[in-house]
């Protein structure tokens, strides 16, 4: 892989079901250098309704009433800030080593990573990872197996495995802006940097995670070819090098900021937070204050800065392996110096022990299953009836009308089910909980 191809600003669209080149975005400011193609990407993501909805989707603390805790929107913005810093630093080092193509600046690298970071959670369903599990659980229950008859193996894998990463790409490439005609039509560089798992559900080599539903596979094939991504096997490619910076920015933020939130609402003490980050902070040089919140914020800022420096340095140390698809480590954090790596690993371990298993989170996770189950119980039988035999009872007609886009005569069972997952997955936590309560008949009057 080479940087000229990896930073491609080419956009794609769908025309009569075929993936074709999209015309360049109208950008009268480009000649003056005021707005690059990557700035256009940034604005398309930020102004999308899917991005705004992240403001009512939980990050860690479910539907938290506390003003200072994070939701998916604030988390994404902060990840984008860290990602931009990582990209700028890597871009400067690439330029210093004469590895950056002449038509690009270090800030272009920062902008590409920033866009990927802004969009990295855009496909998360209500209730986060528990929501993913709840949607998967419904389609995998033996009593629902008859709804999947007639699907191919690949289609069945997609329907039974709601994956926020894959739905994120679907939001960008199919659902938002130019719906079903190329989506937001972002640059190839931004899409490649977003895709952390460039393979399908059936091609997943680890953890079951993937980024490509069959619906977006032809689109991504065109993007991968444009970027020069290395094809490892059928329906599986090597990652875009900048996706590792996006991943690291996310890891840094949720490892450290989740704990800061926990200290903010009293799940974790300020002393525990201080002891954890102490190895990376000269405590006597942190802004002197008696306010625990301000002290935690000062420590967090110092540690994030040190992580950015270390991760960017590790990227450059492994630059050649990243470009040839031979980078063997799990992620960039894994190859960081021990003092940085150990703090981030310990932060994640502490979060697992004291935050992710906290009762307030567990209660919401338990409730997510019946909540999303009610929604699927309501619409899937009606969708199945509409597609397979077209005969609907009066009740099924009403149920089908709940969908933003009921199945048409052109839909297959697979595409109809994907539209149901689009509908549920796009909901905020509040919307899903409210609709489930209403259609269950609770509090009807």
Which of 312, 329, 354 represents a domain boundary (last residue)? 354
Q: Let me know if residue 138 belongs to a domain.
A: no
Which of 305, 324, 354 represents a domain boundary (last residue)? 354
| pLDDT greater than 90 at residue 48 | yes
| pLDDT greater than 50 at residue 63 | no
Q: Let me know if residue 384 belongs to a domain.
A: yes
pTM, entire model:
0.92
Same domain, 423 and 342: no
Confidence of residue 285 (pLDDT cuts 50, 70, 90): low
Q: What is the pLDDT of residue 409?
A: 86
Q: Please state, in angstroms and rounded to a whole number, the distance separating the CA atoms of residues 155 and 324.
A: 31
**For residues 169-177, average pLDDT:** 95
> Which has the closest alpha carbon to 199: 153, 156, 241, 236?
236
**For residues 123-145, average pLDDT:** 95
Of the listed ranges 64-68, 271-275, 294-298, 407-411, the least confidently predicted one is: 64-68
Q: Please state, in angstroms and rounded to a whole number, the distance separating the CA atoms of residues 171 and 139.
A: 21
Same domain, 418 and 292: no
**For residues 103-114, average pLDDT:** 96
Q: Let me know if residue 56 belongs to a domain.
A: yes
* C-beta atoms surrounding 24 within 10 Å: 12
Same domain, 205 and 307: no
Provide the residue range defining the domain that includes 290. 244-354
Q: Please state, in angstroms and rounded to a whole number, the distance separating the CA atoms of residues 80 and 111.
A: 9
Q: What is the pLDDT of residue 65?
A: 52
Q: Let me know if residue 324 belongs to a domain.
A: yes
Q: Let me know if residue 141 belongs to a domain.
A: no
| DSSP reduced 3-state for 178 | strand
| pLDDT greater than 80 at residue 411 | yes
Same domain, 249 and 261: yes
Same domain, 348 and 249: yes
Cα 284 versus chain centre, distance: 38
| pLDDT greater than 80 at residue 217 | yes
**For residues 90-94, average pLDDT:** 97
Q: Let me know if residue 144 belongs to a domain.
A: no
| pLDDT greater than 60 at residue 62 | no
Same domain, 115 and 15: yes
Query: What is the distance in angstroms between the CA of the first residue and the CA of the last residue of the chain?
Result: 62
Same domain, 236 and 215: yes
What are the CA-CA distances from residue 428 to residues 50, 62, 223, 420, 435 (Å)? 10, 12, 30, 15, 11
Looking at per-residue confidence, does 388 or 265 come out higher? 388
| pLDDT greater than 90 at residue 294 | no
Tokens, residue 381: 């039988």
The owner of tokens 């895709």 is: 195
CATH number at residue 55: 1.10.3210.10
The owner of tokens 């690439």 is: 94
Q: What is the pLDDT of residue 274?
A: 80
Q: Let me know if residue 12 belongs to a domain.
A: yes
Confidence of residue 432 (pLDDT cuts 50, 70, 90): very high
For the chain, the average pLDDT equals 89
Same domain, 297 and 329: yes
CATH number at residue 319: 1.10.3410.10
Confidence of residue 444 (pLDDT cuts 50, 70, 90): low
Same domain, 8 and 102: yes
pLDDT per residue as tens digits for the range 330-376 = 999 999 999 999 989 888 887 777 666 666 677 778 889 999 999 99
Same domain, 166 and 189: yes
Same domain, 287 and 401: no
Which of 241, 267, 291 represents a domain boundary (last residue)? 241
**For residues 309-336, average pLDDT:** 96
Of the listed ranges 17-26, 193-202, 390-399, 407-416, the least confidently predicted one is: 17-26
CB burial of 173-207 (b: ≥16 within 10 Å; e: otherwise) equals: bbbbbeeeebbbbbbbbbbbbbbbbbbbbbbbeee
Same domain, 336 and 371: no
State what percent of residues in the chain have pLDDT above 70: 90
Q: What is the pLDDT of residue 354?
A: 66
Q: Let me know if residue 145 belongs to a domain.
A: no
**How many Cα atoms within 13 Å fall on the side-chain side of residue 444?**
3
Domains of the chain: total: 3
Task: Give ∠ CA 322-113-89 in degrees, rounded to 5.
Answer: 75
| pLDDT greater than 60 at residue 287 | no
């Amino acid at each position: 892989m080479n940087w000229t191809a990896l930073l491609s600003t080419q956009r794609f669209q769908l025309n009569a079901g075929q993936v074709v080149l999209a015309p360049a975005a109208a950008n009268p400011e480009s000649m003056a250098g005021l707005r690059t193609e990557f700035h256009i990407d940034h604005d398309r993501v930020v102004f999308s309704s899917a991005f705004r909805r992240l403001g009512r989707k939980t990050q860690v603390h479910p539907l938290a009433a506390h003003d200072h805790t994070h939701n998916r929107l604030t988390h994404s913005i902060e990840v984008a800030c860290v990602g931009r810093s990582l990209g700028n630093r890597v871009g400067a080092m690439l330029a210093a080593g004469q590895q950056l193509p002449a038509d690009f600046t270090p800030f272009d690298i920062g902008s590409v990573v920033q866009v990927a970071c802004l969009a990295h959670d855009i496909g998360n369903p209500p209730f986060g990872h528990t929501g993913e599990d709840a949607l998967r659980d419904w389609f995998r229950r033996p009593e629902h197996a008859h709804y999947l008859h007639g699907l191919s193996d690949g289609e069945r894998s997609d329907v039974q495995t709601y994956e926020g990463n894959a739905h994120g790409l679907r939001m960008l490439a199919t659902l938002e802006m130019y719906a079903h005609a190329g989506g937001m039509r972002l640059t190839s560089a931004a899409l490649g940097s977003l895709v952390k798992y460039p393979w399908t559900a059936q091609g997943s080599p680890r953890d079951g995670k993937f980024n490509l539903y069959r619906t977006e596979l032809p689109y991504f094939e065109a993007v991968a070819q444009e970027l020069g991504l290395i094809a490892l096997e059928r329906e599986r490619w090597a990652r875009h090098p900048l996706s590792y910076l996006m991943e690291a920015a996310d890891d840094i933020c949720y490892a450290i900021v989740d704990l800061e939130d926990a200290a903010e609402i009293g799940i974790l003490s300020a002393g525990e937070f201080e002891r954890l980050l102490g190895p990376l902070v000269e405590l006597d040089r942190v802004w002197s204050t008696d306010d625990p919140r301000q002290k935690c914020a000062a420590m967090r800022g110092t540690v994030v800065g040190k992580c950015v420096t270390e991760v960017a340095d590790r990227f450059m140390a492994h630059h050649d392996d990243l470009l040839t698809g031979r980078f063997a480590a799990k992620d960039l954090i894994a190859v960081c110096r021990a003092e940085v790596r150990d703090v981030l690993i310990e932060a994640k371990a502490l979060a697992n022990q004291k935050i992710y298993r906290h009762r307030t989170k567990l209660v919401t996770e338990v409730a997510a299953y019946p909540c999303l189950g009610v929604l699927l119980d309501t619409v899937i039988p009606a969708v199945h009836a509409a597609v397979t035999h077209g005969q609907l009872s009066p009740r099924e007609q009403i149920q089908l009308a709940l969908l933003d886009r009921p199945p048409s005569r052109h839909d297959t069972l697979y595409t109809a089910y994907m539209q149901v997952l689009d509908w549920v997955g796009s909901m905020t936590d509040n919307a899903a909980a409210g609709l489930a309560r209403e259609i269950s008949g609770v509090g009807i009057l």
